[in-house]
Structure formats: structure tokens, C-alpha cells
């Protein structure tokens, strides 16, 4: 028990003293996760809108695949990327393995289905509510996409927050493709796993507290966005 208490005391010392190693790891984690969400959003937003409005052969199969991809095992994604990015793999020539870029790709693959599915649902609901009005103005489903995305921005913001929360909590895939290299690819989740195995509870606890704060901030932001949207509709 004394070791645990001492670990918490040292963890708070690291946090209040803005320990350079702690700040470096947190900063790298935020950059990787935000970059992954941006990449996933670039794919997921238009794809989700297309799945909501377009009608084409195989659409139901695409919806099933997107929903199934939301449950992709991270270690399987990491393994697949490792094989693709290794020197003997088809993309080994780019030298991306064990770099932050590989970690961004891994997180983006895991986050993209979440953003796609939530975007599809938001756009579908908006189109069902406003399609008569939009059609009366001569808007086709394709032309209505920017309007629907703008009107559904709160739901889409929530989708991005959900993706960011998923990215910051990822450990399996980024451990495989990033290698957990000090000062290069070490992020919060992989550092917590490493330091806990080493018995260095102080740094692990400090990073765990940061992760909890990030998760709380994401949920608060999503809640406030939904409350604001509900208030606007009530007004």
C-alpha cells in the first residue's frame, strides 16, 4: 500500500512539475491522435454521407462492412499493417514502420469506421427530416450534402470526439507498428503498459491521470454539444 501511495505522490509531482518526459509523451500522443482523426474524417465524412444518400448495388453490404469494421481487433490491424509496411511488404520501400506516421495510419483505420457510421446516421436522419424542403428548392441528394453536413455539425462533432477518444485509448496496434521507441514513437498508452511492467508506477499513474482527464474532457464536450443542439431545436 505504501508503494501505491508513494507512486501517486510521485505522479502528482511529475504532473505539477511538468516533467519534460511526461510532456513529450503527452504531446506526441495528442499529435498522433489528432492527425489520425483528421485523416479518418477526410475519409469517413464523405463516405458516410454517400452511404446515407446514394443508392447503388452492394450498398447494404457496404453498410454491414462499415458496422463490422467498428469492432476490428486492434492487434489484427496492427499485424496487417506490420506485414504491409515491413521491408518485405508491398509498402516497405516507404520506411514507415516504427514511425509516428505508421501509428497515425493504424489509428485512422480504427477510427474511420466510427466516423463513417455516425456520419451516415446523422446525414440519413437530416435527409429524412428535410428532404421534401430541399427537393422543393431543387436540391438533389448530392447537392444537399454540404447543407446536411452543416446542419448536422453537432452530431458530426460528436462523431469526431468519439473517434478521438478511440484513438487516444489505442494501444495494441500502435505498439505493433510503432515499436514503443523512446523519444520517437512512445505514446501514453504504450508507455503506461511498459512502465507498469517495469514497476515504475509514478510515470504510469501520471499518464493514466492525463488519459482520464482527456476522456472526461471528450465526454463533457460531447454532452455540451448535444445540450446546445437540443436547446437550439427547442428555441
- Summarised one tens digit per residue, pLDDT across range 2-55 is 677 888 889 999 999 999 999 999 999 999 999 999 999 999 998 998 888 888
Q: What is the pLDDT of residue 174?
A: 94
- The structure's pTM equals 0.89
pLDDT tens-digit map of 142-194: 667 777 777 778 888 888 988 998 999 999 999 999 999 998 999 999 999 99
Torsion of Cα atoms, 207 then 213 then 219 then 223, to 10° = -170
C-alpha neighbours within 13 Å on the C-beta side of residue 215: 13
Task: From residue 163, give the alpha-carbon distance in Å to each of 116, 123, 154, 218.
Answer: 10, 17, 14, 10
Amino acid at each position: 500500500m505504501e508503494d501505491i501511495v508513494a507512486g501517486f505522490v510521485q505522479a502528482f509531482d511529475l504532473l505539477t512539475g511538468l516533467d519534460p518526459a511526461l510532456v513529450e509523451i503527452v504531446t506526441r500522443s495528442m499529435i498522433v491522435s489528432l492527425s489520425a482523426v483528421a485523416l479518418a474524417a477526410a475519409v469517413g465524412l464523405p463516405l458516410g454521407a454517400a452511404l446515407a444518400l446514394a443508392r447503388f448495388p452492394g450498398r447494404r453490404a457496404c453498410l454491414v462492412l462499415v458496422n463490422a469494421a467498428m469492432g476490428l481487433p486492434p492487434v489484427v490491424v496492427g499485424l496487417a499493417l506490420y506485414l504491409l509496411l515491413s521491408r518485405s511488404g508491398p509498402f516497405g520501400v516507404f520506411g514507415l514502420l516504427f514511425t509516428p506516421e505508421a501509428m497515425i495510419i493504424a489509428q485512422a483505420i480504427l477510427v474511420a469506421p466510427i466516423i463513417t457510421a455516425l456520419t451516415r446516421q446523422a446525414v440519413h436522419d437530416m435527409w429524412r427530416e428535410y428532404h421534401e424542403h430541399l427537393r422543393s428548392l431543387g436540391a438533389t441528394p448530392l447537392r444537399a450534402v454540404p447543407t446536411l453536413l452543416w446542419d448536422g455539425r453537432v452530431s458530426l462533432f460528436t462523431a469526431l470526439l468519439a473517434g478521438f477518444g478511440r484513438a487516444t485509448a489505442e494501444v495494441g496496434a500502435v505498439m505493433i507498428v510503432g515499436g514503443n521507441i523512446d523519444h520517437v514513437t512512445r505514446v501514453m498508452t504504450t508507455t503506461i503498459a511498459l512502465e507498469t511492467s517495469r514497476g515504475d508506477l509514478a510515470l504510469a499513474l501520471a499518464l493514466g491521470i492525463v488519459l482520464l482527464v482527456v476522456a472526461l474532457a471528450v465526454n463533457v464536450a460531447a454532452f455540451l454539444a448535444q445540450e446546445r443542439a437540443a436547446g437550439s431545436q427547442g428555441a
